[in-house]
């Protein structure tokens, strides 16, 4: 049996290939991104409003780029240390110990070629045939994709509960407890906060309850807090799972530079984990990719301290960088609150959740999908079809909620990473007008008139961006 993604394209290998490929999913942000580019190129719309991107809006801070340039000019171009130079790992360990309140040494730290590869290597390191993996639903799709690829049916969904009245989602710890108590051989729990796609943040209390379950059921956790500094409401960091008693022994903490430091294209991340996990990941590194590039290692190091390598010195840039990214975080927060408030104007047809972190919102569009004009005239039956229509007919790029798991059906992911003045503000005006038109064409009364949209949005602009 050939994997569907090949047969769909009439591609026929001349050998039998791995049947597990049928289980491999994808991340629609990349596939859909190509589609957005096609529509953009077609010239059908003067502009596409981009709410689909999972990339950062801001650019990599200048001191980071300058360090990388210096490292390249110093000819730091040969193989690097497979785990990360000890001084680099020491710098990260010192910072992590201080911010997480636990004693972490360099032997608990390893550089990675991005955050994403950690997901696959965690499964390869820990999961044996028959072991089960729990993933959040909705969740970052790579977790379910790789868990399915390696473990086929043994993937258990921690489903967020949908509040039928408020139309919002919530992950309840009692549901997680039920999964753990009803299944044996649960080996791994994939936990992501601030979360992609919802932008929800797990607070200390919820993480404490999860840690209690981890102690009881002895499962391992991939704690993905790659957006840990992009949290709103004055909290400086996501509260870390590592900070809870004993959890350093049960956790692979996936973190990196992509989101906080606007370095998605650098492919630079790290893990904090028990030393035996670092040993396994070290073997993986040597077998798979050898080492993170030297100049990237130097950059990773100077964000947290000084680095000296092969007689060249690189100064600490952390304070300068932090000043720059703190401004990015304020912008994310303001944009998030603005998009939330703008979408709330469409309530009850569109119901946003509260913008808590990362740069995503996950509003419910269930009542838009129920509109007679949408169902009967446009023949749109799902969030996927709605998102396609929004792109191809209205020039609005978002992602379908169901691309993040079955519990995302009826929701739409809005990223607010893009530029405020070119995308977020005019884009929201356009979104509001499009939804109002759908309501009116269904002979229902919209919560506000299209003629009032510009004024209402300008009021919100003053409130959030003044």
Ligand X SMILES: Cc1ncc(COP(=O)(O)O)c(C=O)c1O
Indicate whether 264 belongs to the interface with ligand X (CB under 6 A).
Answer: yes
Token pair recorded at residue 416: 């607010």
CB of 184 to ligand X, least distance (A): 28
The Cα angle at residue 112 between residues 121 and 400, in degrees rounded to 5:
70
CB of 52 to ligand X, least distance (A): 12
**Interface stretch with ligand X, choices 112-120, 232-240, 290-298, 395-403 (CB under 6 A):** 112-120
Nearer to ligand X, 74 or 120 (CB): 120
CB of 91 to ligand X, least distance (A): 19
| Cis peptide bond prior to 107, omega within 30° of 0 | no
Question: What is the footprint of ligand X within residues 265-284 (CB under 6 A)?
Answer: 269
Indicate whether 256 belongs to the interface with ligand X (CB under 6 A).
Answer: yes
Nearer to ligand X, 304 or 359 (CB): 359
Task: Quote the DSSP letter at residue 19.
Answer: G
CA 210 and chain centroid, separation: 20
Spatial contact of 416 and 332, defined as CB atoms under 8 Å apart: yes
CA distance 322 to 345: 35
Nearer to ligand X, 125 or 439 (CB): 125
CA-based nearest residue to 272, from 223, 316, 235:
223
**Interface stretch with ligand X, choices 62-70, 98-106, 114-122, 270-278 (CB under 6 A):** 114-122
Indicate whether 258 belongs to the interface with ligand X (CB under 6 A).
Answer: yes
Question: What is the footprint of ligand X within residues 138-167 (CB under 6 A)?
Answer: 140
Question: What is the footprint of ligand X within residues 173-192 (CB under 6 A)?
Answer: 192
Nearer to ligand X, 277 or 368 (CB): 277
Indicate whether 357 belongs to the interface with ligand X (CB under 6 A).
Answer: no
Q: How many CA atoms lie within 13 A of 27 on its CB side?
A: 15
**Interface stretch with ligand X, choices 95-103, 108-116, 125-133, 303-311 (CB under 6 A):** 108-116
Partner residues linked to 137 by β-bridges: 159
Indicate whether 54 belongs to the interface with ligand X (CB under 6 A).
Answer: yes
Question: What is the footprint of ligand X within residues 205-224 (CB under 6 A)?
Answer: 224
CA distance 43 to 368: 28
CB of 259 to ligand X, least distance (A): 7
Indicate whether 116 belongs to the interface with ligand X (CB under 6 A).
Answer: yes
**The one among 114, 363, 401, 410 contacting ligand X by CB under 6 A:** 114
Strands in 14-108 per DSSP E: 49-50
Nearer to ligand X, 167 or 296 (CB): 296
Partner residues linked to 231 by β-bridges: 357
Spatial contact of 435 and 368, defined as CB atoms under 8 Å apart: yes
CA-based nearest residue to 99, from 318, 329, 267, 327:
318
Nearer to ligand X, 91 or 258 (CB): 258
CB of 309 to ligand X, least distance (A): 23
Indicate whether 226 belongs to the interface with ligand X (CB under 6 A).
Answer: yes
Number of chain residues interacting with ligand X (CB under 6 A): 13
**Interface stretch with ligand X, choices 33-41, 76-84, 113-121, 183-191 (CB under 6 A):** 113-121
CA distance 238 to 363: 22
Q: Work out the end-to-end distance of the chain between its first and last CA atoms, rounded to an integer number of angstroms.
A: 59
Q: Give the Å distances, CA to CA, from 294 to 76, 113, 280, 291, 343.
A: 6, 12, 21, 8, 45
CB of 223 to ligand X, least distance (A): 11
CA distance 249 to 104: 11
Token pair recorded at residue 199: 């932008």
CB of 268 to ligand X, least distance (A): 7
- The b-or-e profile of 397-413 (16+ CB within 10 A means b, else e) is bbbbbbbbbebbbbbbb
Binding site for ligand X (CB under 6 A): 54, 114-116, 140, 192, 196, 224, 226, 256, 258, 264, 269
């Amino acid at each position: 049996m050939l994997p569907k993604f090949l047969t769909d394209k009439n591609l026929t290998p001349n050998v039998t290939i791995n049947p597990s490929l049928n289980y491999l999913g994808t991340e629609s942000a990349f596939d859909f991104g190509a589609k957005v580019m096609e529509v953009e190129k077609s010239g059908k719309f003067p502009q596409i409003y981009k709410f689909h991107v999972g990339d950062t809006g801001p650019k990599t801070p200048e001191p980071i780029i300058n360090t990388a340039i210096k490292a390249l000019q110093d000819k730091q171009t040969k193989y690097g240390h497979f785990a990360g130079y000890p001084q680099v790992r020491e710098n990260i360990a010192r910072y992590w110990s201080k911010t997480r309140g636990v004693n972490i040494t360099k032997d608990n730290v390893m550089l990675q070629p991005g955050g994403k590869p950690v997901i696959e290597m965690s499964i390869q390191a820990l999961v044996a045939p028959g072991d089960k993996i729990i993933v959040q639903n909705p969740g970052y799709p790579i977790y379910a994709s790789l868990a399915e690829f390696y473990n086929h049916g043994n993937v258990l969904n921690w489903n967020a509960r949908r509040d039928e009245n408020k139309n919002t989602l919530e992950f309840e710890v009692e549901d997680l407890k039920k999964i753990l108590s009803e299944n044996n051989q649960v080996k791994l729990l994939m936990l992501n906060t601030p979360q992609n796609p919802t932008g929800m943040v797990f607070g200390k209390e919820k993480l404490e309850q999860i840690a209690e379950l981890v102690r009881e059921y002895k499962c391992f956790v991939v704690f993905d807090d790659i957006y840990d500094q992009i949290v709103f409401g004055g909290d400086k960091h996501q509260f870390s799972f590592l900070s809870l008693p004993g959890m350093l022994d049960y956790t692979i903490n996936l973190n990196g530079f992509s989101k906080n430091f606007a370095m998605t294209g650098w492919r630079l991340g790290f893990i904090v984990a028990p030393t035996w996990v670092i040993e396994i990941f070290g073997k993986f590194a040597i077998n798979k990719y050898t080492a993170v590039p030297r100049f990237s290692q130097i950059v990773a190091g100077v964000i947290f301290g000084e680095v000296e390598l092969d007689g060249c010195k690189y100064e600490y840039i952390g304070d300068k960088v932090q000043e720059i990214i703190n401004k990015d975080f304020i912008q994310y927060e303001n944009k998030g609150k603005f998009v939330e408030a703008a979408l709330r104007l469409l309530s009850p047809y569109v119901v946003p959740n509260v913008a808590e972190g990362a740069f995503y919102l996950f509003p419910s569009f269930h009542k838009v999908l129920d509109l007679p004009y949408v169902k009967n005239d446009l023949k749109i039956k799902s969030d996927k079809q709605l998102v396609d229509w929004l792109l191809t007919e209205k020039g609005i790029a978002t992602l379908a909620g169901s691309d993040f798991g079955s519990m995302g059906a009826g929701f739409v992911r809005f990223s607010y990473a893009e530029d405020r003045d070119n995308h977020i503000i005019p884009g929201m005006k356009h979104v509001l007008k499009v939804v109002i038109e759908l309501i009116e064409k269904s002979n229902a009364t919209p919560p506000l008139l299209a003629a009032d949209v510009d004024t209402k949005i300008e009021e919100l602009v003053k409130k959030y961006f003044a």
